[in-house]
Amino acid sequence: MDSLETETNNKDNVTIETRTEDKVTLATESKHKDIILTDIELKVEDLMREGKNKATRNKELLKAIVQGRWREVESTLKEDKAAATEAINSDGNTMLHIAVGIGRNFLVNEILSLIKPGQLPKMVNLDGSTALHIAAIVGNTEAATLLIENDRRLLEIQDHEGDTPLDKAYQNMHLDTIDFLLKAVYDNIKPKKQSSTLEDSVSPGVELGVNLLLNAVSAKKYDLAAELVKSFPEFAVENDDVLLAIAKTFPMGLDYWDTLIYPSMGDICESTIKRAKDSFKILVDYYEGMMSLMEDIPDDVIIGTIRLLLYFTLKGPLAVLAWIYFMIRLLISMLYFPFIMFYFLFWKVATRVVLPIKHIEKKMKE
């Protein structure tokens, strides 16, 4: 009996010890889980805080770039060098893309000085476009020059649609940019052509140029075609395709008297808009110049104030006179516009009943 009681007590003790160990184990595991969960929560909070900080930083950077405030951009980049190559808007554009797109070329030059060699080709937005693609799209030839000087490989990079910067420049019909990029591409091809063992092989640069020339002629973009032939005469004589395209599409053209009486509404509207832009551009440039000088005043109050006063007294009157001149031209255009509208309507009616005018209209459409 005593042995049975002893055995029973031992079993009970073992059970109690096992339960105690299980509770200790569960408590330990619970503590570990709590610690792990706390670490995860802290990391999530850090990530959220970092995300908010980046969003605020990107918003401020974007505003500073648009307004051309380099000192603010430079200050941010000193604190966070990675910001120079990171996307700062929802389209995946970096600050370089944006500066190129809005024509802030002095910012482009400064930003490029902070980017390490070899990074430019990797800096693409959600469309796969580099900063050179953006320069080609908007026709920013000056920025394109700065970018190619830093990395010529940008000329060969294709976006997600398979277009190079030269293709984008052609699609948007920026003649100066096309001319510049075509020369740059052709210069890239020359070393390859010289190292080729096939003397009679056609350079890919020439092939591309001929295709561009054919497309320009076929689309009746004769101003572009003329610019291409002027810069690259070899494109026109590479084969007979260019001559055939000209024969098929070239219009009979208007003679001197036809041109004199034909109402060109497009030219009138374009000149009116240009004069309006010129008049306001003078004021905008003057304002931006003053704001730039005012930003420098805190650094050196005396010199900054003197520069601001000189700018105001010397350039101010010139800006006002130039603005008055362009406003007078704009006013003349606006007074002239109703007469042109009346003549244009008269011309459209006359094309239905007057054969010579109908013939001129037909030649113009061709």
Tens-digit pLDDT profile for residues 92-122 = 999 999 999 999 998 899 899 888 888 999 9
Tens-digit pLDDT profile for residues 235-245 = 888 778 887 87
d(CA 64, CA 58): 10
Q: What is the mean pLDDT of residues 45-71?
A: 73
Q: What is the mean pLDDT of residues 151-165?
A: 92
Q: What is the mean pLDDT of residues 112-136?
A: 92
Q: Which helix (H) or strand (E) holds 59?
A: helix 2-67
- Phi and psi at 87, nearest 5°, equal -70, 140
What number of other Cβ atoms are within 10 A of residue 57's Cβ? 16
Least confident span in 24-28, 108-112, 129-133, 150-154? 24-28
Predicted pLDDT of residue 200: 39
Check whether 303 has a pLDDT greater than 60: yes
Mean of the per-residue pLDDT values of the chain: 75
d(CA 304, CA 151): 37
pLDDT confidence bin for 202, thresholds 50/70/90 = very low
Predicted pLDDT of residue 204: 46
Tens-digit pLDDT profile for residues 43-56 = 545 444 444 577 88
Predicted pLDDT of residue 366: 56
Across-strand partners of 94?
Answer: 87
Predicted pLDDT of residue 142: 94
d(CA 298, CA 343): 59
Predicted pLDDT of residue 170: 82
- Which of 138, 124, 114, 125 lies closest to 90, judged by CA? 125
d(CA 224, CA 169): 12
What number of other Cβ atoms are within 10 A of residue 337's Cβ? 14
d(CA 10, CA 13): 5
d(CA 7, CA 319): 110
Cβ neighbours for 45, distance < 8 A, ≥ 6 positions apart: none
The pTM is what? Answer: 0.53
What number of other Cβ atoms are within 10 A of residue 343's Cβ? 13
**Token reading at 56:** 């605020």
